[in-house]
Structure 1
Amino acid sequence: MDIATLAFTHAPVGLAYAEDRTIRRCNLRFAEIFGGAPEDFADLPLKRLYPSAEDYERIGAQGLEVMRATGRYDDERIMQRLTGVAFWCRVRGESLTPEAPFRRSVWSFSDLSAARPVVELTAREREVAMLTAQGRTSKEIGREIGLSYRTVELYRARLQEKFGARNLADLVAKFSGLPH
C-alpha cells in the first residue's frame, strides 16, 4: 500500500471522497463514525446520512453557495448513522472542481456526540441551532432563513428549554461542547 493510501485509510478523522454528493470512497474512521465498513458507503448518496431530505437540500444549498465563493465549506450539524441514530458532527469540505463544487470533493467528519448530546429537534430548530452555534445573531439568522428575528428568538427559547440552558450563552456552550 502506498503512503498516500495508507494515510487516507488510517487518518484519525473520517474522510470521504464524493462525486456529485455521492460517496465514492471513505476511510476506516468515516465508516466507524457512521456505523459500517468502508465498502458499505461506496456509491452511497450523502442524502442517506442526513436526518431529513429537507436538511440535505438546505445544507447543500448553503454549502454550494459558500463553496462557489471559496472552494471550501465547514459547519457543525446533526448527521445520521446508518442505523438512523442522530449525532452532532463537524464537517469540512474542499472542492477539487471549483467550477462545479460538488462534482468532485473531499470531506472530513468528526463525531462530536461525546461532548454534545442530540435532542429531538424539528428541521427548523436544527437550522436555528446550527446557525446559533456558528455565532449568528437572531437578526442574521432571520435574514438568512426568511423569518423575523422575533420568530428566531422563539425558536431559541424552545432550544434553551429543550437543552436545559439558562440563557443564550449557556445554549451556545452546550452546542459547542464547552463546559457550562
Structure 2
Amino acid sequence: MGDIAFEHAPIGLAMLENRVIRGCNRQFAQIFGGAPDDYQNVPLAHFYPSRQDYETIGARGLAEMRKTGRYSDERVMRRANGALFWCRVRGQSLTPDAPFMRGIWSFADLSEERPVVELTQREREVAILTCRGLTSKEIGLELSLSYRTIEVYRARLLEKFRARKLAELVAKLSGMPL
C-alpha cells in the first residue's frame, strides 16, 4: 500500500539521497515536466534558478534540519523546460545525524496563485526572508548587508510587485488574497 500511496499522492513527492533524486511520483514529474523515470538520479541542483540559490537554500535547509529534522519554504524553482515557478517545498530527513543523506520531500506548484516576477538573486533572498517575517535589520545580518541596503531591495520589490506597503508586498509574495 505504501508504494500506491507514494505513486498516486496528490502532491509531488521525491526520495532524495544527498540532494539527488532516487525516485519520484507522477505528480512530481507532472509539476516539473516529464515522467518519473526522467528524474532517476538527477541532482536537485537542476531545479534551482541558479547555483547560488541551490547553495544558499541548501545551507539554510541543512541548518534547520540539523535542529528539527524538517525544513519547509516557498521558493522559485525551474521546470525541465526552463520555466520558473513558485513552489512550496517540505522535507523530512530519514537520517537525523546526516539530514541530507536520505529524506522524503514534497513539492507543490504555486504558479496559479503566484506568478513569477523577474528578480535578481539578491531580490529573491530578500523576498524569501521578508515573507518569513524578518525585519530589514535581521535580513541584513543574515545576508551580511546593511539594513539600508535591504531597504533599497525592499523598495525595488514593492515597485516590481506594484505594492504600496510591506504588508501588501508580503501578501503578494505569499499568494494571499488582498
The secondary structure found in structure 2 opposite 1:68 is helix
The answer as to 2:78 corresponding to 1:85 is no
Q: Note the C-alpha offset of 1:127.
A: 0.5
AA at the equivalent of 2:114 = R
State the partner residue of 1:32.
30
Residue by residue over 1:54-73, the C-alpha shift from the partner in whole angstroms, topping out at 9 and shown as x without a partner, is 00000001101110111010
Q: Note the C-alpha offset of 1:134.
A: 1.4
| Runs of 4+ residues over 4 Å off in structure 1 | none
The secondary structure found in structure 2 opposite 1:83 is coil
Q: Note the C-alpha offset of 1:140.
A: 1.2
Q: Note the C-alpha offset of 1:33.
A: 0.6
| Alpha-carbon distance in structure 2 between the residues aligned to 1:61 and 1:11 | 28
Q: Note the C-alpha offset of 1:166.
A: 1.1
| Alpha-carbon distance in structure 1 between the residues aligned to 2:117 and 2:173 | 11
The answer as to 2:51 corresponding to 1:53 is yes
Alignment of 1:17-166 (within 5 A): 17-166=15-164
**TM-score using structure 1 length:** 0.97
Q: Note the C-alpha offset of 1:133.
A: 1.4
In structure 2, stretches of 5+ residues that fail to align are: none
| Alpha-carbon distance in structure 2 between the residues aligned to 1:33 and 1:131 | 25
| Alpha-carbon distance in structure 1 between the residues aligned to 2:45 and 2:34 | 16
Q: Note the C-alpha offset of 1:136.
A: 1.4
AA at the equivalent of 1:37 = A
The answer as to 2:3 corresponding to 1:5 is yes
The secondary structure found in structure 1 opposite 2:122 is helix
| Alpha-carbon distance in structure 2 between the residues aligned to 1:114 and 1:135 | 23
| Alpha-carbon distance in structure 2 between the residues aligned to 1:42 and 1:32 | 14
AA at the equivalent of 1:105 = G
Residues matched between the structures, number: 178
| Alpha-carbon distance in structure 2 between the residues aligned to 1:169 and 1:148 | 22
In structure 1, stretches of 5+ residues that fail to align are: none
AA at the equivalent of 2:87 = C
